[in-house]
Structure 1
Amino acid sequence: MELTTFWFIIIAVLWVGYLVLEGFDFGVGMLMAVMAKGERERRALISTIGPVWDGNEVWLLVAGGATFAAFPEWYATLFSGFYLPLLLILIGLIVRIIGIEFRSKRDEPSWRRNCDIAIVFGSVVPALLWGVALANIVRGVPIDADGEYVGGFFTLLNPYGLLGGLVTLTVFLVHGAFFVGLKTEGEIRERAIKLGLRVGVVAGALAVAFIVWTGLAQDSLAVWILGGLAAVAFVLGMASAVAGRDGWAFTGTAFSIALVVATLFTGLFPDVMPSSLDAAWSLTTTNAASTPYTLKIMSWVAVIFTPIVIGYQSWSYWVFRRRISLNHIPA
């Protein structure tokens, strides 16, 4: 396998890890607005992600750093052309961090209410815009012969991109609801599962439409297979939630998100940013890559340190595996 292909796969895996893990963080943040009743329930929701949310964001940092090092032309075009949506995502993530970290610093209801608004805002905006961005990367954007993005912000707000954003928004909400069902007990767990099932019907319909649209546009058997598996995983997750199998319900939505991301990257390869103006101007794993020596050094670093990072994060999830009830939240 060529090193350019190897690093394309690594970056795809990093995005899978980020969107699966941060996806339920976004979902829990959105649940603050639509499900939580009272201060203790809001604190219980935050407690479900409290030990892990910051570790989940590391996947985004590594994905961005790997893209910069392995495919600098891709990084440059992506972050200049998608500057405004990525800036909005960054603002959302910063605002959410402020809300989570500073919410408990003061007891005034107005202070906590403002922090809750920040958490919801910082969850909704990235959940929507990540889908818009990824869908547009696969669809193709106006890139000229110099490899520069020549569109604008509203170029990205096309029907396919907006559908991708609605898919990530709703699927993350379902994913977060099933995570709350897995991590809590009592009435809050039951309401989270019920809400996840209701939103899941809408999310499933949107996801199927997006997968079919992607399959028709890419005309690839692998895309159809992966997309079909994503739909099956989501349905199985919903069925598990109905049966009261919280772990399998969460696993189903996690696999569906992973398979949808795999579908998008499969449809994208060997391009990294297709040009909608001329296919010859597209950025590919070949013309956007770093030197072979750089990729070789990066590969050794990845082989050594990636298992360590994954092992540590897996251990942290195991340590904080127990369920939370309102009885654990002091008045």
Structure 2
Amino acid sequence: MELHDIWFVLIAFLWTGYFFLEGFDFGVGVLTKVLARDRRERRVLINTIGPVWDGNEVWLLTAAGATFAAFPEWYATLFSGFYLPLLAILLALIVRGVAFEYRHKRQEERWQSRWEHAIFWTSVVPAFLWGVVFGNIVHGVAIDADGEYTGGLLGLVNGYALLGGAVTLTLFTFHGAVFVALKTVGDIRARARRTATAVGVPAAGLAVLWLGWTQLERGDGLSLVALVVAAGALLAAIGMNGRSREGWAFALSGITVAAAVAMLFLTLFPDVMPSTLDEEWSLTVANASSTPYTLKIMTWCAGVAAPLVMLYQGWTYWVFRKRIGTQHLADAH
């Protein structure tokens, strides 16, 4: 296996970690307006991800940075051709971070309500747009002989990509609802389980439709295995959630996200961005990668730094592992 193949796998792993962690993060943000009945319950939901949401975003920074260094041609075409949706995601993430930090700075109801609306919408927008972006990457876009995207904004609006957006939005919301059930006590926990079931059923239908479409277009034996694992894990997660086995339900919903992302990358390889104009113009792991020397240095650096970061983040989740409820909140806020 060549170094550029290894780095394709590593980047796939980074995106899988990001969607696993930020997925339930986005889902909790969506649920602040769907599940919570009042401001006190919204505080509980926000507190479930309060210690970890910023650490989850490190995976995005690492994935983007690794793509820039390992596959500069892929990075250049992706971030120039998909400029507007990626800019919308970036702005949403910036506002979302500000909302988490500023919401509790003042006591006025109007002030807090505005930031809570911001948390909701800046969770919905990236959760949907990430599906659109990856849908277009896998489905293929108009890339010319110079490796430049020529389709414009409307070229990114198609049925496959929009279905991908619906899948990521509903799947992340289900993932978030299971996480809330795992992290809370009392009435919120019970309602989170009911919400997870209500969202999980349509999420399963949409996911099977989208991944099945992907399999028919670009799939092989390995991607079919990933599809079966994703579908089976999601159905099992819904079942475990119904039996109040939140730990198993969350683990299985995480497996669903990981298997779905793995399937997308399996169907993509050896391309990194297929061209719909001419297959010869597609960007591949070979023609879009950096030099072997650059990849070798990156491999040594990643081998040292990545385990340390993962250990630290795992320790963070362990420290903040206990359940919370409205009774754990101080009256003054």
Shorter-chain TM-score bucket reads over 0.9
Q: Give the structure 2 partner of residue 206 of structure 1.
A: 206
Give the structure 1 partner of residue 290 of structure 2: 290
Counterpart-to-counterpart distance in 1, 2:280 and 2:39: 56
Distance 1:22 1:153 in 2: 26
Indicate whether 1:280 and 2:288 are aligned. no
1:250 matches 2:250: yes
Aligned to 2:133: 133
Structure 1 residue identity aligned to 2:108: E
Where does the alignment leave 5 or more consecutive residues of structure 1 unmatched?
none
Kindly provide the amino acid, as one letter, of the partner of residue 247 in structure 1: G
Equivalents in 1 of 2:193, 2:35: separation in Å?
11
Deviation at 1:178, TM superposition (A): 0.3
Give 3-state SS (helix, strand or coil) of 1:289's partner: coil
> Whole-Å Cα distance in 1 between the matches of residues 207 and 19 of structure 2?
15
Instruction: Count residues in correspondence.
Output: 331
The residue that corresponds to 1:42 in the other structure is: 42
Q: How far apart are the structure 2 equivalents of 1:152 and 1:250?
A: 39
* Offset at residue 153 of structure 1 (A): 1.3
Which amino acid in the other structure matches residue 156 of structure 1?
A: L
Q: Which runs of 4+ in 1 moved over 4 A?
A: none
Matched with 2:68 is: 68
Residue 330 of structure 1 is matched in structure 2 by: 330
1:286 Cα deviation from its structure 2 partner: 0.4
Alignment of 1:1-331 (within 5 A): 1-331=1-331
Judge conservation of contact 1:98–1:118 (CA < 8 Å) in 2: no
The Cα shift of 1:219 comes to 3.6
Q: Which amino acid aligns with 2:138?
A: V
- 1:43 deviates by 0.5
Letter in 2 for 1:148: E
Q: Given residue 248 of structure 1, which amino acid in structure 2 is its aligned partner?
A: W
Q: How far apart are residue 27 of structure 1 and its match?
A: 0.2
Deviates more, 1:94-103 or 1:63-72: 94-103
On the 8 A contact 1:12/1:265 being kept in 2, the answer is yes
| Mapped partners of 2:175, 2:291: distance in 1 | 39
Q: Work out whether residues 45 and 180 of structure 1, in 8 Å CA contact, stay in contact via their aligned partners in 2.
A: yes
Q: What is the rounded CA distance, in whole Å, between the counterparts of 1:279 and 1:4 in structure 2?
A: 20
Deviation string, structure 1 residues 256-303 (Cα, Å, up to 9, x no partner):
000000000000000000000000000000000000000000000011
Question: How far did 1:8 drift?
Answer: 0.2
Return the offset for 1:35: 1.1
Deviation at 1:59, TM superposition (A): 0.2
> Deviation at 1:222?
1.2
Q: Secondary structure at the match of 1:87?
A: helix
Distance in 1 (CA, whole Å) between partners of 2:256 and 2:314 is: 20
Residues in 2 aligned to 1:289 and 1:320: alpha-carbon distance in whole angstroms = 39
Match of 1:32, as an amino acid? T
Tell me the CA shift for residue 90 of structure 1: 0.6
Is the CA contact 1:18–1:59 (under 8 Å) kept in the aligned structure 2? yes
Q: How large is the Cα RMSD of the aligned pairs?
A: 0.6
Shift of 1:83: 0.1
| Percent identity of equivalent pairs | 58
For the 8 Å contact 1:20–1:254, the answer to whether it is kept is: yes
Counterpart CA distance in 2 for 1:238 and 1:177 is: 11
When the two structures are superposed, what TM-score results if normalisation uses the length of structure 2? 0.99
**Unmatched segments (≥5 aa) in structure 2:** none
Q: Shift of residue 225 of structure 1?
A: 1.1
TM-score computed with the length of structure 1 as normaliser: 0.99
Instruction: Please state whether the residue corresponding to 1:272 is helix, strand or coil.
Output: strand
Please report how far the alpha carbon of residue 95 of structure 1 lies from its aligned counterpart in structure 2 after TM superposition. 1.2
